[in-house]
Amino acid sequence: MKQVLQQARSGEIAVVEVPAPQLLPGCVLVRMAASLVSAGTERASYEFASKNLLQKAKARPDLVREVVSKIRRDGVFSAVAAVRNRLDQPNALGYSSSGTVVGVGESVTDLNLGDRVACAGANHAVHAEFACIPRLLAAKIRPNSAVSFEEAAFTTLGAVAMHGIRTADVKIGDVVAVIGLGLLGQLTIQVLKAAGCRVLGMDIALERTELAARLGADGVSISHNGLRDLCLQHSSGYGADAVLITA
């Protein structure tokens, strides 16, 4: 089958022929119909992979600490071999997709062959012709619904937005600031408005703030000072009840 892979060493992205995944217990095998390209996540992945080793180290000091720990634990040669092996392994891109179930694994009882599903998860809902998806990361699309595969491929992003809102524990009438008005931020604003919140948005890109205003934001700004003033203005001087960062 065909799959989109990225070389960890160079950042090069290509469509390559790979073996089809095996159906595992507790999973379903899905023939993909649509997959979402995340402009933020996948662009960041490409930019990181395109860096040389020194630049990678500066960008990800957490990984440097892991290497140092491995050197202390297993020695230099083992650490170098692990790093080289990691750089030689291609990355599977994608984390939100949709398709049709063509295989049902052991212990999966509520999905059947032919069901349309929305899929989630890095290393699962990848850009490929087929994918093995754990049951908990596949949501059945209601039969005879008007939801297309293209629309269903956005499900993961909607779930991320809703999870952030639930974690913030916002309530009707709360003043909520959303920082970062890309796709995830725009979805967050719409869900917050539907939940009865007063929503203020901030992004350094003017066109994104204008879109947020059209989608229902009660106020928008392109600067942190402007967002602060909006929060005070819409809360009688108390400030925002919650802040969600979707930058």
CATH number, domain of 81, equals 3.90.180.10
Domain co-membership, 92 together with 211: no
Domain co-membership, 112 together with 25: yes
152, 170, 201 - which closes a domain: 152
Task: Reply yes or no on whether the pLDDT at 21 is more than 90.
Answer: yes
Q: pTM of the predicted model, to two decimals?
A: 0.75
**pLDDT, tens digit, 9 for 90 and up, residues 210-219:** 999 999 999 9
Higher pLDDT, 129 or 11: 129
Domain co-membership, 92 together with 161: no
Give the mean model confidence (pLDDT) for residues 168-183.
96
pLDDT at 62: 72
DSSP 118-160: EEE-TTTS-SBSEEEEEGGGEEEPPTT-S--HHHHTTHHHHHH
**pLDDT, tens digit, 9 for 90 and up, residues 135-164:** 999 999 999 889 999 999 999 999 999 999
Give me the number of domains the chain comprises: 2
129, 152, 175 - which closes a domain: 152
pLDDT at 101: 98
Percent of the chain with pLDDT over 70: 85
Domain co-membership, 139 together with 194: no
Q: Rounded to the nearest 5°, which phi and psi values hold at 182?
A: -75, -160
Cβ neighbours of 216 (radius 10 Å): 14
Domain co-membership, 203 together with 120: no
Domain co-membership, 104 together with 25: yes
The confidence band for 92, taking pLDDT boundaries of 50, 70 and 90, is confident
123, 152, 181 - which closes a domain: 152
pLDDT at 7: 79
Domain co-membership, 23 together with 10: yes
Domain co-membership, 135 together with 168: no
pLDDT at 192: 97
Higher pLDDT, 247 or 82: 247
d(CA 130, CA 99): 9
| CATH number of the structural domain spanning residue 239 | 3.40.50.720
Question: Which range marks the domain in which residue 27 is found?
Answer: 2-152
Among 20-29, 30-39, 79-88, 89-98, the range scoring the smallest mean pLDDT is 79-88
Task: Reply yes or no on whether the pLDDT at 5 is more than 90.
Answer: no
Domain co-membership, 11 together with 71: yes
Domain co-membership, 101 together with 184: no
Domain co-membership, 91 together with 10: yes
Mean pLDDT of the chain: 89
Domain co-membership, 145 together with 28: yes
pLDDT at 44: 66
